[in-house]
Structure 1
Amino acid sequence: MTPDPVGPPGRDGVHRPRTVTPGVSAEPRQVVRPRTIGALGRPDPIVIPHLESFAAAPWQPPTGQVPVVVAEPDGDHPADPDALLWSDDLDDDLWVTDPEPAPDGTATAVATTEDATPAPRPPSRLLRNNLFVASGTAVSRLTGLLRTTLIVGLLAKSLSDAYINANTTPNIIYELILGGVLTATLVPLFTDDLEHGGKDGATSAIISFAMVALVVVTLVAAVASPGIMALLSTGSPSADRHDYVAVGIPLALLFAPQVFFYGLMALWSAVLNSRQRFLAAAWAPVLNNVIAIATLAAVWRTTTGKPTLADALHDRSLILILGIGTTAGIAVMALALYPSIRRADIGFRFNFDLKHPAVRRAVRLSGWTFGYVIANQIAGIFTTILAKPGSGGSTQYQTAFQFFQLPHGLLAVSIMVTFEPLLGRADARGDRKDFNDQLLLGFRLIGLLVIPAAIGYIALPKGLDYRTFAGTGNVQTFFDITGVVAAFAVGLPGFSSYLYSLRAFYAMKDTRLPFLINCFENLVNVVTAVAFVRWWGVVGLALSFAVAYTVAAVVSVAILTRRSPGFDWRALARTWFQLLLAAGVMGCVVFGLLVLVSPGSLPIALGTAVGAAVLGVVVYFAAIWVARIDGISELMARLPVLRRFA
């Protein structure tokens, strides 16, 4: 074997070639966490420090690498990887990273195990992870829609508004103080800690700090909830405001413990996601929805007709059932992750140290994120007031938003969750090309999936006949909500791509730019909402949301292009434009079929809508295949199902 150019001297002063000699495994892999192994000739186990990467030779062991006796060299010959000796309890592959023996007869090796992460991750594994997240998100969103439907169907408008806004109160406090901080910083910091071997206990320090912060924020939520609930009632009709607040404040207090469990869920999910363990975090929200549905069913069994605010004031058991049942669902959702956390073996030790470098870094990154969240909450409260709580507008807006988020959660979130650790690792390695490639691939995947969903949301309701739903009792409600959904859908591609671009900034440990962009987005949202709500009511609020996020997405991509040199935004623009044309063809076919058939009854209308949606998917991918859209061939290689179709 011809050695590569000689590298710098090791600790013993000996110059060694930069050659990397693999052991049993034939594929390059990274070690992303330290591993304790029993070294031959040593009575005690030793910890192998993290190595930067085995993905590309040549490589030189970093200063301070602990030598491990793996074989006795024969004279001047280097240690033979095929003749490595190890104890009976060590069945891991070994990488010989120092093939030239040192004077003391040792060679440096490292063990790779199942908790080491391949680099790069094979497409089949990437697809499997996306399927884990997408399937869990799909069931979660569907059960969430069922829960939302039951809220609308079982509770009177005034009580449903009070329940929804009271349940939003802990979310506002959590997001305002801690939620955005956890979302923006945890996965990048945990990933960075893994990339550098977890030697300084950064993960334990961050978790300890976050747990203490969650307790404090939960107490703040209990104190602040009544004031926030009173603020959210500002737009209510004066005659109903007293009852609205009288019911909403007790509910908000019962919902306050949700803050702790939301934070615990975010914390444990970030730990698991950084280790490429997605299944539990994706499916846990289903448990919350099931318990919430059971809670609403219990309310239905204890009342006759739709309970109102007056009924809740007269029978306080309704408030207790709704409050305790809903909070129990959030608690079960978070605690369901505990078995996966134990299996992940993160080596957690409580270490509340405000001076720990990882904690100080998290606090530093969270400063801008705190401002980001404040801007979001101000815009959210402003929108809630414009929707006139107690009038049914809030329920209409929130219900439409649930439907709007279904394709985003099902199709885009799974891409964001699985790509964020990949972006973080590429940035930690300083591999800008890999970062840009992953970023572009993620954008293309999001466009491939959410653009047709947006067109479908617009085309399907427009093709249905109003008379089809006559006599059902909910015809006006149905078309009011679908109108709001269609307005939201205009901004679905922008919304998903904007949130994905934020993951890229966070992977680069940059929270300042997301804050500035988000302030701009919220400013556009508020200004357009004031104008649009006068012309189109709740539909105008949804349309202002769509416009704001679309503009913010364009700005984010433009800034990413400057922030990450080499990112091919032109290729992204070409792909999205071609996907939009293909989705437009699909939308015309769906709309035309519904108008042509003109179903006269509700069952026929629903069947026709499902058939039109299936036909639309076929037409969409056929149009992609005919047009040979840029970048889709790589996506086909990543997604075998689409490759077979093509």
Structure 2
Amino acid sequence: MSNVDRVRIPPKPSLPPSNFPVATSGPPTGALPKLDEMSLTHEQTARSSMSMAVGTLVSRILGFIKGIVLGIAIVGSVAVSNIFESSNYLPNLIFLLVAGGVFNAVLIPQIVKASKNPDKGADFISRLLTVGVIGLLAVTVLVVVLVAPITGLVLGLHGKQLELAITFGLFLLPQIFFYGLYSLLGQVLNAHNSFKAYAWAPVLNNVVAIAGLLVFIGVAGSSVTTEHTVDNWTIGQSWMLAGTATLGIVVQSLVLLIPVKRLGLGLRPKFGLRGTGLGATARIAGWTMGTMVVGNLSFLIILHIASIPTDGMSDSAINASSAVPGVYLLNRAVELYIVPHSIIALSIATVMFTAMARAAAVKDTSGLRNSLSGALRTTGVATVFAAVALIVLSGPFGVLFGGNQETQARQIAIILTILAIGAPFYSINFILNRVFYAQEDARTPFIMQSIVVAISLGTALSVALLPRELIIYGIACTYTISNVIGPLIAHRFLRAKLGDYGGGLILRAHMRFLFAALVSGLAGEAVLALFGGRGTHGFMWQSIPASVLTLAVVGTLMAIVYVAMLKLMKVKELDHAVAPLISRIRMRRA
């Protein structure tokens, strides 16, 4: 998969990454501190990572609720749900193609460098935002004007299905501008160690989206009580479903204007690029853009393949052929499997990326290696367990996000199981790639991405030859294969660049995590059987409340067993992972 975090098909990028750290002591107003004053201590880094994880967790919980409500609203309307999901992916894909990688991986080192200037980087940031906003606006307007040919080319739909996709696109494509604004403002905040607003802004996005879905259900009816089809779909339903989805992104981005103003930089529109250092940014951005283009053009093909199962089928034929999973169900499974990465790995990586950029700026290779090794081991404590837990609990998760419909629940469970295998590797690859960007090396990630894409395209094109009912499962396998191969390639390049960064220690730590997770998984399977997990007619398959109860009981038991096993094996990484949480609890009690 691409090197920038995603969460939809692929999982949407760090957009919205409800995944950026919460502030520890970001500068309020007035003059910004000097570069060395802006550096985070180890304790501050830990608190920032934990705070970010809390903000992300809240957003993910709301995201889960949104997924459940969305399932109730349209999951039974297979054609409409698949068209909406595909259309909702386009803004993310286009943003990633034109700017995503540059915003997320390149700008922080440049802003950090600019902060050493007498004006604390105000001139650089003003010009950067001016160029970025104008460019984003131009791209967004162009894409909206060309919505019909772009939608037809990417989604491969025809007839009334294509007409509905174009309608959705008119509502959803303006998100491109606001994703870009959110990312630009967020990188300015991150570079100045102000993380809180960026972490919590997606919470507002989810609240708005959930409210819109509830209005949709109240006015248009759920998919259980009302048959929503391509033929009877109205413009009012598009406003409620797609319009409120975009409104959430608008709120998420505009709210960041407040904390950016509090930085006290006195930002204002400024034109002209000479003498600002943007030339260096442009050179780095060129390779980053290449990486994003290579990675996401491959997903254009994957998205096109994902539409094959239902392409050309009527509403009645699609609904009758519910044994054929589509894009909607793949997205629900992707949202679930990406959660451990978003809460843990991205939390750690975002804070550590700023620290690594500072270490790279002073040529502190040892500091880079130590940060990388610690980040990988601390992340693995959570991601390895989460992968096993997702496999064991794939059934109740399927019920939860499948609109309480048995067929869709089973399909989500199968897709989630396939994806969960590659979840820890996805986080490892993300962190490894961040080291290159911290050193302002965008060329190596481009080479690595090209290798991974060549392999994944080969598997994806093979998937297109499968029977309709197996294509989505095949795409899930493609994701997992890419996730496993990615860190293997990145390791070889990174070892040549940094030397030994503790690979043996990292591998041994992950083996211990895996052993403890497998023990907890066996315990979870035993208890899951008591809830009727062995067949599709057991208790946990009967309703959404039953699946929630199953998840709570079995998930809690697995976590207890896992922690007990780690304690028994004296795994020190567990203490590193939970220390910020314990510290925060103690401070609140005090």
Length-normalised TM-score, structure 1: 0.76
Superposed CA deviations along residues 3-48 of structure 1, whole A, max 9, x for unmatched, are xxxxxxxxxxxxxxxxxxxxxxxxxxxx999997xxxxxxxxxxx9
Where relative contact order (Cα < 8 A, 6+ residues apart) is larger, the structure is: 2
Aligned to 1:595: 529
Matches within 5 A, 1:151-550: 151-155=70-74, 156-194=77-115, 201-234=123-156, 236=157, 241-304=158-221, 305-312=226-233, 315-388=234-307, 390=310, 393-461=326-394, 474-532=405-463, 534=466, 536-550=470-484
**Cα pair 1:208 1:352 within 8 Å, conserved:** yes
Question: Are 1:33 and 1:194, in contact at CA under 8 Å, matched by a contact in 2?
Answer: no
The AA in structure 2 aligned to 1:159 is: V
In 2, are the aligned partners of 1:209 and 1:359 still within 8 Å (CA)? no
Contact 1:195 1:428 in 2 (8 A): no
**Residue in 2 that maps onto 1:622:** 564
- Counterpart of 1:563, as a letter, is K
Q: Report how many residues are paired.
A: 528
Q: Does 1:583 align with 2:548?
A: no
Shift of 1:261: 0.8
Structure holding more helix per residue: 2
Q: Which amino acid aligns with 1:356?
A: G
Aligned mates of 2:87, 2:547 — CA distance in 1: 36
| Structure-to-structure mapping, 1:37-76, within 5 angstroms | none
Query: Structure 1 stretch 408-417 or stretch 381-390: which is displaced more?
Result: 381-390
Deviations 1:459-493 (A, max 9, x none): 2237x799x99xx9611111110110111111101
Q: Does 1:150 align with 2:84?
A: no
**TM-score, with length taken from structure 2:** 0.82
Aligned CA RMSD, in angstroms, stands at 3.0
2:198 maps to amino acid: A
Shift of 1:583: 1.4
What secondary structure does 1:574 align onto?
helix
Q: Distance in 2 between matches of 1:340 and 1:448?
A: 33
Amino acid corresponding to residue 202 of structure 1 in structure 2: F
Q: 8 Å contact 1:298–1:321 — kept in the other structure?
A: yes
CA distance in 2, matches of 1:288, 1:640: 29
Deviation of the 1:202 alpha carbon? 2.4
Tell me, yes or no, if structure 1 residue 121 matches structure 2 residue 41.
Answer: yes
Residue 347 of structure 1: how far off its partner (Å): 3.2
| Cα deviation, residue 597, structure 1 | 5.7
In structure 2, the CA distance between the partners of 1:610 and 1:263, relative to structure 1 (3 Å rule), is same
Classify 1:337/1:324 alpha carbon distance in 2 versus 1 (closer, same or farther; 3 Å). same
Secondary structure of the residue aligned to 2:440 is: coil
- Residues 205 and 358 in structure 1, CA contact (< 8 A), matched pair in contact too: no
**Partners of 2:497 and 2:581 in 1: CA distance:** 29
Deviation at 1:350, TM superposition (A): 2.6
SS of corresponding position for 2:277: helix
- Give the partner amino acid of 2:45: L
Counterpart in the other structure of 1:71: none
Report how far residue 627 of structure 1 moved.
Answer: 2.0
**What are the superposed Cα offsets for residues 209-267 of structure 1, whole Å, 9 maximum, x if unpaired?**
21221122112221333222112332x5xxxx311111111221222221111111001
How far apart are the structure 2 equivalents of 1:279 and 1:330? Answer: 17
Alpha-carbon spacing, 1:532–1:583, altered in 2? closer, same or farther (3 Å): farther
Q: State the shift of 1:635 in Å.
A: 5.0
Paired residue type of 2:41: R
Gaps of 5+ in 1: 1-30, 37-47, 54-115
Measured in 2, the distance between the counterparts of 1:294 and 1:634 equals 38
Q: Deviations along 1:519-550, whole A, 9 cap, x unmatched?
A: 22222222223345627432221122011111
The structure-2 alpha-carbon separation of the partners of 1:145 and 1:355, relative to structure 1 and needing over 3 Å to count, comes to same
Identity, in percent, stands at 25
5+ residue gaps, structure 2 = 1-25, 311-317, 319-324
Which of 493, 512, 534 is equivalent to 1:559?
493
**Bigger Cα Rg:** 1
Change (3 A) 1:622 1:268: same
Cα deviation 1:382-414 (Å, max 9, x = unaligned): 222222264551111111111112222122221
